[in-house]
Structure 1
Amino acid sequence: MAPQSRPLLPAVLLTRPEAQGARFAVALREALGPVRLVTSPLMVPEFLSPPIALRPEALIFTSETGVEGFRRLAAPGLAGVGRAWCVGNRTARAARAAGLDAQSAEGDAEALIAAIVAAGERGPLLHLRGAESRGEVAPRLAAQGLVVVEAVVYDQRPQPLLPEALALLAGGAPVLAPLFSPRTARLLGLELARAGVAPQLWVAAMSPAVAEAAGALFPARLRVAARPDAEALLDAVKALLDAEADA
């Protein structure tokens, strides 16, 4: 009997901002081999220059893009700041590359808040974040008696799906979409509604919150990452594909 052929795996749609999406694409190709990748970022960062009214003892970052916003700031009050608290390892690596002594909470906003409190920080601390930020890091730290100020150093501007992505989604075949944030899931839903297409989506979600937002996409298959980081999301992608290959 001739061996059964391997099922045709779905194409992968990457909707992350360009820099992070390119890096995840490399990881996907290394892990999966020859799989079709279509890249169509749904957001592009616009960097801002807010006034910084204090000289903090340390910085707080909840994204790599926040670190890039710090690099672009020309605020005299930040010139001598040497320490940073970061939500995860990749953000911490970016902060170290920017010349900071960075500590990683190796998790999410909950872990970050717990690490800062456990370290006995009193402040002032400065959270450099995006216009849309989850976790309420600064208010929750302030509620525990720390002096914390926020500054919005970037905004993620929505942009439409590219024609290649729309053609893929309208093609009738399953499409695997790794989703990194609830906002990305919502933007994808808006784009699908605008285009009038209802694709067969397989969603790998970064967290339960992302999975909840992705529910409006009515995914045919859904897998939630074990941890809120890119490595765990890649594992979720592989799990979806392995399940199909074994079917």
Structure 2
Amino acid sequence: MTRPRAAAERFIDGLPVAVSAQLSPIFSPLIQIRPLDVVPELAGVGALVFTSANAVAVAAENIRSRDLACHCVGPATTEAARNAGWHATQSGDNAQQLIGTLTKEKPIGPLMHLRGVHARGNVAETLSRAGVPCGEQAIYDQSLRPLNDAAVEVLAGSEPVIAPFFSPRTARQFADTANPCAPLWLIALSPAVAEPLETLPFQDMAIAGGPNSAAMGKSVEMSLKRANRVEGRPDAH
């Protein structure tokens, strides 16, 4: 698992027990979340937009009031915002769906998208062009990290390795730094995430059936079944 540790653990915990029991998770985050020394400027803002649970966690440390409503991407981000005390609504499974929902509903604004330095989708710009005024502010950075020793060791072995990727940036970091010998069963959230991985030697690469953790979990389950059948082994990393 190459996501930040908390997100990676949530993903593993969300897998069916029958699946997770056959896996030996290796946690090697390729991105580290670093809060920026900024306080969000929210004067006149009507509602917040969150596209990641990381943004919620950082914002919760810097914003005392919970009066503003939140429009969120995905169940994990929505749940994180609710747990932090905000009135949060899931407005889509990805940024494109959120933009479509908010463009149609035209919530009371202006909105403020609190995000990381590295973000995709041009949420604020696209919403503003569609008649939904939205500002944006980066409140954390996502610095790249190398694979840790445990990941390097398992990639140098002969056991099958299932590796799910949720972002193009993480996939690119893996493709640039990994030197795998193990049979790789890669899973990508989208074609854009899959593209950097195509330079790697792999046994199989699947693209999830939807832009969410549930679809990624299903892909892990299917990859595990195929890996066990091909490799003739009872479990995988």
Q: Which amino acid aligns with 1:65?
A: N
Q: Which amino acid aligns with 2:61?
A: R
Q: How far, CA to CA, are the matches of 1:162 and 1:80 in structure 2?
A: 38
Are 1:47 and 2:35 an aligned pair? yes
Cα 1:35–1:146, aligned 2, differ >3 Å: closer, same or farther? Answer: closer
Q: Which amino acid aligns with 1:38?
A: I
Q: How far, CA to CA, are the matches of 2:50 and 2:204 in structure 1?
A: 33
Q: How far, CA to CA, are the matches of 2:201 and 2:113 in structure 1?
A: 35
Q: How far, CA to CA, are the matches of 2:228 and 2:70 in structure 1?
A: 43
Q: How far, CA to CA, are the matches of 2:208 and 2:176 in structure 1?
A: 24
Q: How far, CA to CA, are the matches of 2:127 and 2:118 in structure 1?
A: 18
Identical counterparts, % of pairs = 35
Matched residue, 2:235: none
Alpha carbons 1:57, 1:81 under 8 Å: kept? no
Matched residue, 2:205: 222
Shift of 1:34: 3.2
Q: How far, CA to CA, are the matches of 2:22 and 2:38 in structure 1?
A: 44
Q: How far, CA to CA, are the matches of 2:205 and 2:212 in structure 1?
A: 17
Matched residue, 1:34: 22
Q: How far, CA to CA, are the matches of 2:58 and 2:146 in structure 1?
A: 24
Q: How far, CA to CA, are the matches of 2:49 and 2:107 in structure 1?
A: 12
- Deviation sequence 1:88-123 (CA, Å, 0-9, x none): 122111111122111112311111001111112252
Where structure 2 has 5 or more consecutive residues not aligned to the other structure, the ranges are 231-237
Matched residue, 1:6: none
Are 1:69 and 2:49 an aligned pair? no
Q: Any residues of structure 2 matched to 1:13-28 within 5 Å, and which?
A: 14-28=1-15
Are 1:155 and 2:141 an aligned pair? yes
How does the TM-score come out when normalised to structure 1?
0.85
Count of matched residue positions in the alignment of Structure 1 and Structure 2? 228
Shift of 1:29: 6.8
Q: 4+ runs of 1 displaced by more than 4 Å?
A: 196-199
Matched residue, 1:242: 225
Q: Any residues of structure 2 matched to 1:1-247 within 5 Å, and which?
A: 14-28=1-15, 30-32=17-19, 33-53=21-41, 54-74=43-63, 79=65, 81-121=67-107, 123-192=109-178, 196-247=179-230
Q: How far, CA to CA, are the matches of 1:219 and 1:197 in structure 2?
A: 9
How does the TM-score come out when normalised to structure 2?
0.88
Alpha carbons 1:61, 1:85 under 8 Å: kept? yes
Q: How far, CA to CA, are the matches of 1:153 and 1:31 in structure 2?
A: 38
RMSD, aligned α-carbons: 1.9
Q: How far, CA to CA, are the matches of 2:28 and 2:116 in structure 1?
A: 21
Structure with larger Rg:
1
